[in-house]
């Protein structure tokens, strides 16, 4: 399986897997990284050229002074169209789902098919959970941390869920050049200050996207509610909604086999080789 990691001229990091088939882009959620999609991507790479991007201010991508959905969508399309205008399938989860929707509305010529996982084009008022994550990460005195286990213990009062702590601590990197020996790889200061904006949905002044859309909800998640359907179908009239049982907000991590099967059907990639 072919794979390569790229940092483009504007410091947007992405990894490519697969050598043939349609270009298929994966976009992660808040505090995530492109590599969070690796297991899903490998299950599609027999029939698709998969691209996993670290969104701006996340992972190995560069930091910026501001952060909006329009800016993130434009940054990605600028990079991916530098050498080719070939359309893409675009899959996004949570914040990445909002970026994916913005891409489809702003550049519908580039988006062949769209998959939006457990998010809607609406304002989410409840951001307290993410605020707790930020508070917890900021509370860790990195100068006193010697191991990841110690960082995990310090984060526990703010983030009781061990799976979520492990997800967040993927962003903690050893850095010999730092006074503490550690650093947060993501732009924690900017992201923490933008939680309300990232919970919102912008008015993009764009026509509805008329391509096919798969809207995936986690059966135990409250991120997709019946009252959100009008907003979704106004912007994306060809939306098909499916709900995956026994899955919460991280639907692709909690039910990966069902998620992959749904992607392969919708993206017309055929059964697993």
Instruction: State the residue range of the domain holding 177.
Output: 128-195
42 belongs to a structural domain: yes
Rg (CA), the chain: 18
Tell me, yes or no, whether 27 lies in a domain.
Answer: yes
pTM above 0.85, yes or no: yes
Q: How many Å apart are CA 191 and CA 66, to the nearest integer?
A: 9
* 273 located within any domain: no
Do 134 and 102 lie in one domain? The reply is no
Q: Which of 142, 166, 195 is the last residue of a domain?
A: 195
The answer on 159 and 145 residing in a single domain is yes
Residues 211 and 250 grouped into a single domain:
yes
Identify the DSSP state of 268: T
Residues 23, 120 share a domain:
yes
**Residue where a domain terminates, one of 158, 176, 195:** 195
Domain count, the chain: 2
Do both 156 and 53 map to the same domain? no
Long-range contacts of 220-229 (CB under 8 A, 24+ apart): 220/246, 220/247, 220/248, 221/118, 221/247, 221/248, 221/249, 221/251, 223/94, 223/118, 223/119, 223/120, 223/124, 223/249, 224/118, 224/119, 224/120, 225/120, 228/120, 228/122
Q: Give, for all 273 residues of the chain, the pLDDT tens digit.
A: 555 555 554 589 999 999 899 999 999 999 999 999 999 999 999 999 999 999 999 999 999 999 999 999 999 999 999 888 999 999 999 999 999 999 999 999 999 999 999 999 999 987 768 999 999 999 999 989 999 999 999 999 999 999 999 999 999 999 888 777 899 999 999 999 999 999 999 999 999 999 999 999 999 999 999 999 999 999 999 999 999 999 999 999 999 999 999 999 999 997 765
Please indicate, yes or no, whether residues 228 and 152 belong to a single structural domain of this protein: no
């Amino acid at each position: 399986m072919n794979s390569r990691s790229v940092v483009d001229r504007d410091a947007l990091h992405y990894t490519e897997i697969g050598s043939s088939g349609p270009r298929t882009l994966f976009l992660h959620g808040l505090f995530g990284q492109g590599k969070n999609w690796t297991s899903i991507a490998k299950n599609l790479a027999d029939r698709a050229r998969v691209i996993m991007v670290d969104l701006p201010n996340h992972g190995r991508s560069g930091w910026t002074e501001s952060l909006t959905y329009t800016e993130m969508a434009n940054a990605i399309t600028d990079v991916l169209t530098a050498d080719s205008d070939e359309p893409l399938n675009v899959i996004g989860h949570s914040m990445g789902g909002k970026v994916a929707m913005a891409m489809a509305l702003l550049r519908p010529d580039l988006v062949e098919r769209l998959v939006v996982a457990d998010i809607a084009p609406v304002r989410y008022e409840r951001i307290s959970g993410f605020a707790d994550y930020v508070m917890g990460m900021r509370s860790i005195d990195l100068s006193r941390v010697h191991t990841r286990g110690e960082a995990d213990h310090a984060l526990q009062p703010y983030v009781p869920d061990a799976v979520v702590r492990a997800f967040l601590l993927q962003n903690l990197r050893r850095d010999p050049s730092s006074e503490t020996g550690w650093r947060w790889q993501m732009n924690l200061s900017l992201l923490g200050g933008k939680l309300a904006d990232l919970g919102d949905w912008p008015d993009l002044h764009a026509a509805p996207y008329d391509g096919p859309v798969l809207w995936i909800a986690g059966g135990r998640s409250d991120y997709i509610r019946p009252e959100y359907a009008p907003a979704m179908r106004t912007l994306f009239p060809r939306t098909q909604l499916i709900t995956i049982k026994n899955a919460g907000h991280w639907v692709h991590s909690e039910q990966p086999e069902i998620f992959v099967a749904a992607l392969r059907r919708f993206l017309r990639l055929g059964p697993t080789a």
